Chain A
Amino acid sequence: MTSVMTAALRRLLGMAATLLVTSFLVFSSLYLAPGDPAAFLVRGRSPSPDELAAIRQQYGFNDPFPVRYWHWLDGVLHGDFGRSYLFHQSVGEVLWSRLPATLLLVGVSTLMIAVVGIGAGIVGALRRGTRTGSAVLLLVTVGAAVPSFVAAIVLRSVLGVKLGWFPTIGNGTGVLDRLHHVVLPAIALSVTFMALVTRVTRSAMLDELRREHVEVALSRGLPRGTVIRRHVLRNALGPITTVCGLLVSGMLVSTAIVETAFGMSGVGSLLVQCVDELDFQVVQAIVLLVVAAFVVVNTAVDLVYPLIDPRVRAAGGAR
């Protein structure tokens, strides 16, 4: 038990170190920009004296580099990402107002990916060699190559414009209307990831199905359904969870594509808008959040792995 605790503690320390390094990289990226960094941040606009003071406060351009980073990190840890020149608000406020729409989109997509991806993967593994099994494989090959912006065009054009079942633009108002608006974007966001999860589920299930303990369980007369659920799927969940964790960053970045395609107002479309209209402080904050989310989720996956798969715990938490 203590070895599990030590392993968990080491993971958490590793996460803190990774977050520190990534935050330093994101902070330093500003200095890669050509020219004076202060001029870079305010280029193309005439900021008010207040905003100029805020930028000096945020980045401390007169301090030595490590001190500057420390000030910036201190602000970020307190939720202070600086000011947005585009919106004349704090970056935190801008992000906060856009966050619910993106969380809804990501949440609905995650649900779709989990249900359809794992479901299709199970069917693909159990019906291997049949027509259904081949159909799953073909869908996986095509699905993995359909980018969200192509899915968006097809969905809007067929289900939106031709059939008129779903709205094609905007976020909607009220709970039901918002859900109605998020259906097509969520499908567009999910297609690629569904295919990847299906593929992993299928191959993890096939790996387990081939193993001896499954044969033993079946030969002892356990019902096939029970064996599939408790001996095959249960063992396959480990690799599936790991892959899902790795997909997080790709999914968060793809919200930029999907939200832009569907004219939704969220963090993803905010990122694109702020790159387009030269609001670097917002871009920097979003990049940092996406990377941090990836690191945190994958650490969490590592931490819950021994709960999903007790064999890892027996091996002393080492993976």
Chain B
Amino acid sequence: MSALSWARRIGGGPLLRACVLVLALFVLVSLLAPWLAPQDPTFGDLGNTLVGPGAGHWLGTDKGGHDTFSALIEGTRTSLVGPLAVVLFSTLLGIAVGLFSAWRGGWIDTVLGRVLDILFAFPALLLAILAVALFGKGLTAPVLAMAVAYTPYTARLVRGLAAQEKVRPYIAAYQVQGHSSVFVALRRLLPTIMPTVLAQSTVNFGYALLDLAALSFLGLGVQPPTPDWGAMINQGQAAVLEGQPLSAIVPAVAVVLVVVAFNVVGEHLGDRLAGRES
């Protein structure tokens, strides 16, 4: 109900509203997952493998007899928590680096710019794979590695915006009044650029979800029996060749839906902010 009124307030076309609703739905599902899942997704019913959709199993079962619908619902949690952590860490880190760089300027700005340039050469998924090679499979090491890999995008954005904002009269006015640099930078400058940063973070969320799903698909991320969309697609692959693609298609559709929704919402926020500024 509140999601619907929120969607109305955002405005925009039906595509945008649909995307906001999709996101609200998946967040709700991830919060209520244990109560919504009709069956235990880790239970493999070997008497009912690769069953089609029906009353017992709404979206059928996979090769190991796991209920696809329940796994989809429980998998929402791991699939959304990973990217959430990546975006939180990388946004905080990016704001810190970007603000510091723009505020100090001079050689610090130059050096940090170089460091960010070098980080850009390491794609997030590659850094995540390297982290798995060093620390073992799972979610923690890849999430931390990807947080580092996504930081330059936010840091570069924050640096650019903050450098523009820093020379405005109101900043000088606060400084003349004797407010500390930390206060002016964090409490006065940051809030003015925060909406644009959040728009970028929204788009980053979608990409981080793709990268983490890819990692689980490769068998290097979330490990079965923990339900995860990427891992489900991986498990469903063998059945694809037997002409039973459903258990792989269902989580694949979920991934694409959520990522499209994040991209559309993020870009809309970005466009709206750009429109307001010009």
Contacts and interface: CB of A to CB of B under 8 A. Distances in A.
Contact of B237 (A153, A249, A283): A153
A159 to B, nearest CB: 12
A260 B125 contact: no
Nearest to B240: A157
Given A29-B134, A253-B126, A287-B130, A294 B218 contact: no
B237 A22 contact: no
Contacts of B230: 149
B118 A18 contact: yes
Interface stretch (B50-58, B76-84, B97-105, B242-250): B242-250
- Interface size of A as a range: 35 or more
A153 B252 contact: yes
B274 to A, nearest CB: 13
B245 A153 contact: yes
Interface stretch (A69-77, A78-86, A137-145, A178-186): A137-145
A275 B142 CA distance: 13
A150 B255 contact: yes
Interface string A275-292: 110001001000100110
Nearest to A157: B245
Contact of B243 (A21, A148, A161, A261): A161
Contacts of A271: 129
Interface residues of B, number: 38
Interface string B108-124: 00000000011001110
B253 to A, nearest CB: 8
A272 B243 CA distance: 26
B260 A161 contact: no
A22 B233 contact: no
Contact of B263 (A145, A257, A283): A145
Contacts of B210: 145, 147
Contacts of A280: 133-134
B60 to A, nearest CB: 15
Given A283-B130, A290-B126, A261 B256 contact: no
A32 B134 contact: yes
Given A153-B249, A161-B241, A169-B241, A141 B264 contact: yes
Contact of B241 (A32, A141, A168, A294): A168
B241 A275 contact: no
Nearest to A34: B135
- Residue in A146, A148, A150, A250 with the greatest tally of chain B CB atoms within 10 Å: A150
Contacts of A256: 125, 129, 218
B150 interface: no
B240 A161 contact: yes
A53 B122 CA distance: 31
Contacts of A145: 206, 210, 256, 259-260, 263
B256 A150 contact: yes
Given A147-B213, A169-B241, A287-B126, A21 B118 contact: yes
A162 interface: yes
A73 to B, nearest CB: 16
A150 B117 CA distance: 31
B224 to A, nearest CB: 14
Contacts of B237: 153, 261
Contact of A22 (B121, B123, B220, B240): B121
Nearest to B264: A141
- Residue in A147, A249, A254, A256 with the greatest tally of chain B CB atoms within 10 Å: A147
Contacts of A30: 134
Contacts of B206: 145
B223 to A, nearest CB: 12
A33 interface: yes
B133 to A, nearest CB: 5
Nearest to B115: A21
B252 A150 contact: yes
Given A141-B260, A169-B241, A291-B121, 7 more contacts: A29-B130, A145-B256, A146-B256, A149-B233, A150-B252, A249-B123, A250-B123
12 contacts: A22-B118, A150-B233, A153-B236, A256-B129, A260-B217, A275-B220, A276-B219, A280-B133, A280-B134, A291-B126, A294-B121, A295-B121
Interface of A: 18, 21-22, 25, 29-30, 32-34, 141-142, 144-150, 153-154, 156-157, 160-162, 168-169, 249-250, 252-254, 256-257, 260-261, 271-272, 274-276, 280, 283, 287, 290-291, 294-295
